Structure 1
């Protein structure tokens, strides 16, 4: 054993416990560019937790800045509808891992994610159930936005739900604080965030000064998905996604969105002209509630300055007209198995869940079923 290896093995980390000694991995429940997520059990207390592995392969030295940002943000946020970070653990460094510790973020365990639930045709969401999901989702978003945090990766797979029906916003790996100023003006951020199918038009067109409206767009896509059971705009490229958005939400012109022509990529991408806004018309065969359609329409405004915010959304008639939001635990009690996107069949473009196949088709010129 080399001197360096011996020193590493003898290091003590009194505030960062050994992951394998404290937790027993039970099954893998997630996989992505961020790493892996495992369901695990505390060997002593028997508490079930989620272990998120921090990817270290690309780090020549030090700890990944994205993971540090996620940890810091989650330490600042304490809310019923935001997933709780319990602690950080590490594996012992040794020859098997080139004397580099693996770090794990330990979270409270949630039995399902929304993408997994929507992939299962046996899971039936009533209108009252959908209201409760969206109410909790918007409550969580309102809280993080009030604390000047942007999630920047809103999608159904990042919305967790416990067996008791409590929704938790998760995966803050792309999240960051916003609202700062520099000597040159408003703080600029990368627009290479948000999974493509949920990415708002301002990011696709190159906007770098943005705020909470980007998360509201993702929430609107998720809300529509509660009825369609599949992502409503499944582009293959940024160009394709802009085309799909234009077909659904109308052409992105200065008439409906003043200043859009000044965005960096407006002249570099082919932005369809002459498209009418058809959000309500296209979604009406799925979303039979007029208040839901109205809220969806407001969440999917292309101009971010006119897009509804979380506070106003929570006061929308959708949540206050009968039926009232219901307790999700009643519906979830009928399902004993955990449901996660990672464990479910892929929700591909063109796939329509069995229970929806009898519904009337929409305009055949529009890609997919919307």
Structure 2
């Protein structure tokens, strides 16, 4: 598939929420996100393949899930070839009129990537050469360096959050636990982040004042 060019802009943000999910042909479920299913779909207007990440609101007493709000706010500010591109937000077709009232569901529309790294590793069908691994790590570290220079900590780097297309392009995804970081502040952050097997020693020991180094550890 063709991925967006580096620096390509997404749909005007003032238009987000104006389109309904029935503008897409749903091809099938490709995963389960923090707050709903993830679907492979095709945009009826452009023919482009996308991933639709469903966000259900009917069980949320406070409206939008905080992780969804965080992911949207952060991804609006990140445009890099190694960071997944959020293209727009669309409403559920049954609840389009209720979208502004935080009812029903909405969808985050992402560029489509063919695989996640965990799925490929668990399949046992793919063998990565040393050159593949070098390329993946280079792309991953470039994307992570970009995020850190924009003062964001990812805080959930793991194989299932690293996406890969059939051309060997890597994208860092799932920013639901990410947050803004300032090296000039000594404020504490929660240490209940990063999946256990990727969690650095300082978080395991209860440290609440940490730096972008925690993301680098997870990459190793």
TM-score (norm. length: structure 2): 0.85
The structural deviation recorded for 1:104 is 0.7
Counterpart in the other structure of 2:65: 64
Of structures 1 and 2, the larger Rg is shown by 1
Q: Over aligned residues, Cα RMSD in angstroms?
A: 2.1
| Equivalent residues of 1:69, 1:176 under 8 A apart | yes
| Equivalent residues of 1:113, 1:159 under 8 A apart | yes
For 1:242-321, what aligned pairs fall within 5 Å after superposition? none
| Equivalent residues of 1:137, 1:169 under 8 A apart | yes
Corresponding position: 1:202 with 2:202: yes
Counterpart in the other structure of 1:331: none
The structural deviation recorded for 1:25 is 1.4
For 1:19-38, what aligned pairs fall within 5 Å after superposition? 19-38=20-39
Counterpart in the other structure of 1:87: 88
| Equivalent residues of 1:52, 1:104 under 8 A apart | yes
- Give the match's secondary structure for 1:52: strand
Query: Which residues of structure 1 form unaligned runs of 5+?
Result: 1-12, 221-370
Over 3 Å counting, the alpha-carbon distance change for 1:94 and 1:145 in structure 2 is closer
Over 3 Å counting, the alpha-carbon distance change for 1:15 and 1:161 in structure 2 is closer
Between the aligned partners of 1:200 and 1:54, the Cα distance in structure 2 is 30
Counterpart in the other structure of 2:116: 113
- Give the match's secondary structure for 1:30: strand
The structural deviation recorded for 1:32 is 4.0
The structural deviation recorded for 1:139 is 0.8
Counterpart in the other structure of 1:40: 41
Q: Deviations over 1:300-356 (max 9, x none)?
A: xxxxxxxxxxxxxxxxxxxxxxxxxxxxxxxxxxxxxxxxxxxxxxxxxxxxxxxxx
Between the aligned partners of 1:140 and 1:15, the Cα distance in structure 2 is 25
Between the aligned partners of 2:89 and 2:108, the Cα distance in structure 1 is 5
| Equivalent residues of 2:21, 2:107 under 8 A apart | no
Selected match of 1:156 from 121, 146, 159? 159
Selected match of 1:174 from 177, 182, 206? 177
Between the aligned partners of 2:132 and 2:183, the Cα distance in structure 1 is 38
Between the aligned partners of 1:191 and 1:74, the Cα distance in structure 2 is 22
The structural deviation recorded for 1:70 is 0.8
Between the aligned partners of 1:55 and 1:198, the Cα distance in structure 2 is 28
Between the aligned partners of 2:205 and 2:56, the Cα distance in structure 1 is 30
Query: Which residues of structure 2 form unaligned runs of 5+?
Result: 1-13
Counterpart in the other structure of 1:246: none
The structural deviation recorded for 1:173 is 0.7
For 1:337-356, what aligned pairs fall within 5 Å after superposition? none
Q: Deviations over 1:104-135 (max 9, x none)?
A: 10000000111111122221111111110111
- Give the match's secondary structure for 1:76: coil
For 1:357-368, what aligned pairs fall within 5 Å after superposition? none
Q: Deviations over 1:34-71 (max 9, x none)?
A: 32211111112111000111242442243223212211
Between the aligned partners of 1:26 and 1:141, the Cα distance in structure 2 is 31
Counterpart in the other structure of 1:211: 211
The structural deviation recorded for 1:14 is 6.3
TM-score (norm. length: structure 1): 0.51
The structural deviation recorded for 1:29 is 1.1
